[in-house]
Amino acid sequence: MARFNPGHPSLSSAAFLDKVIVLSGGSTGIGAATVLLLDSFGAKVVFGDIVPPKKAVGDYLRTDVTKYKDNLALFRFAFEKYGRVDHAVANAGVIEQPGWFQPDGIESLQNPPPDLVVDVNLKGTLYFTHIALQYLAHNRGDTDRSLTTLSSQAGFKETPGLFVYQATKHGILGLMRSLRLWTPTTFGVRINAVCPSMTTTQMVAGIQDAWMAGGNPVNDPADIAKIICGVMAAGPGTGAVCVGGIDWDDSQAGLNGRALFIMGGEAYDIEEGLDRTEDLWLGRVISKKLERAQKGLGKGDDWVSS
């Protein structure tokens, strides 16, 4: 078990004073809670959403994350106003839409089902991440920079009924894993994912009562905001991020490559445990073969010709 403690003394809210943070999906739910918390820490928060916020906090720019130019405009706005981007949070997302994988018969196949969930959750995160890394790396110096993506419990556990949503959240977790060895050396940027369980937002209104009736723990959006801010603050020199498990050298390099599952306001990393026990769940012999094969892939420069 590797638990993440956002309240650890080494993770100070003072780390956010005058820092410039760009966030997508900041008008409601987890995003709005994160904007409010960052603002209370003295950060300069620039956030996008397709709907305006209820509270006038930070700098809001109407942003449709399914459009590349809107993502680019969000970062340009932040850079032109403040001269840099210190941290970024790819938060925008939507819940499952009707029309997929229902027993409606062959007559129902004339038109494709809606692809909004793929466009917002996955393509929007890809666009945001692609642009964020360039702005985070620009005039970085020796300052800590980070990118945090929003996956879900559905990103690693089967969730019946959330067919497309779950696929996109798996994709976001896969994106983080594909980048976690690349971004620190290529861009000087840490990347992590947070994976909330049931969180009291409008997105889960249809299932929330049944979940709570079973006595299952829930998150408040403010809980997730604290974890997100803790991840951003956990740069090099922040000492005791994880309790238990093995040391992934977070104290030296800062928190990077982690996927933090959040339930009842508590966060647990799933990546270190998967890595540490691979010889058990995959088998010792094949695990060693896979390890050698992975090393043979190198840095990742050779997949796509320039």
Q: What is the pLDDT of residues 58-83, one digit of tens each?
A: 999 999 999 999 999 999 999 999 99
209-225 tens-digit pLDDT: 666 666 778 889 999 99
pLDDT of 306 higher than 80: no
Are the C-beta atoms of residues 295 and 41 closer than 8 Å to each other?
no
Query: What is the predicted pLDDT for the residue at 296?
Result: 84
* Phi and psi at residue 266, to the nearest 5°: -110, 140
More confident residue, 192 or 160: 192
| 145, two tokens | 């920079």
If pLDDT is split at 50, 70 and 90, which confidence band does 1 have? low
Q: Of the candidates 186, 216, 188, which has an alpha carbon nearest to the alpha carbon of residue 200?
A: 216
Query: What is the predicted pLDDT for the residue at 243?
Result: 47
37-50 tens-digit pLDDT: 999 999 999 999 99
Are the C-beta atoms of residues 44 and 83 closer than 8 Å to each other?
no
**Which whole number is the average pLDDT over 218-246?**
80
Contacts of residue 237, Cβ cutoff 8 Å, sequence gap at least 6: 10, 251, 254
- Name the residue with tokens 């922040």: 238
Length of the chain: 306
pLDDT of 189 higher than 90: yes
Are the C-beta atoms of residues 7 and 238 closer than 8 Å to each other?
no
E-strand stretches of the chain: 3-4, 20-24, 44-49, 59-62, 87-90, 146-150, 190-196, 242-243, 259-263, 266-269
**Which whole number is the average pLDDT over 102-117?**
94
Could you list the active site residues?
A: 165
Query: What is the predicted pLDDT for the residue at 214?
Result: 64
This prediction's pTM: 0.93
Query: What is the predicted pLDDT for the residue at 230?
Result: 94
More confident residue, 68 or 291: 68
Query: What is the predicted pLDDT for the residue at 236?
Result: 86
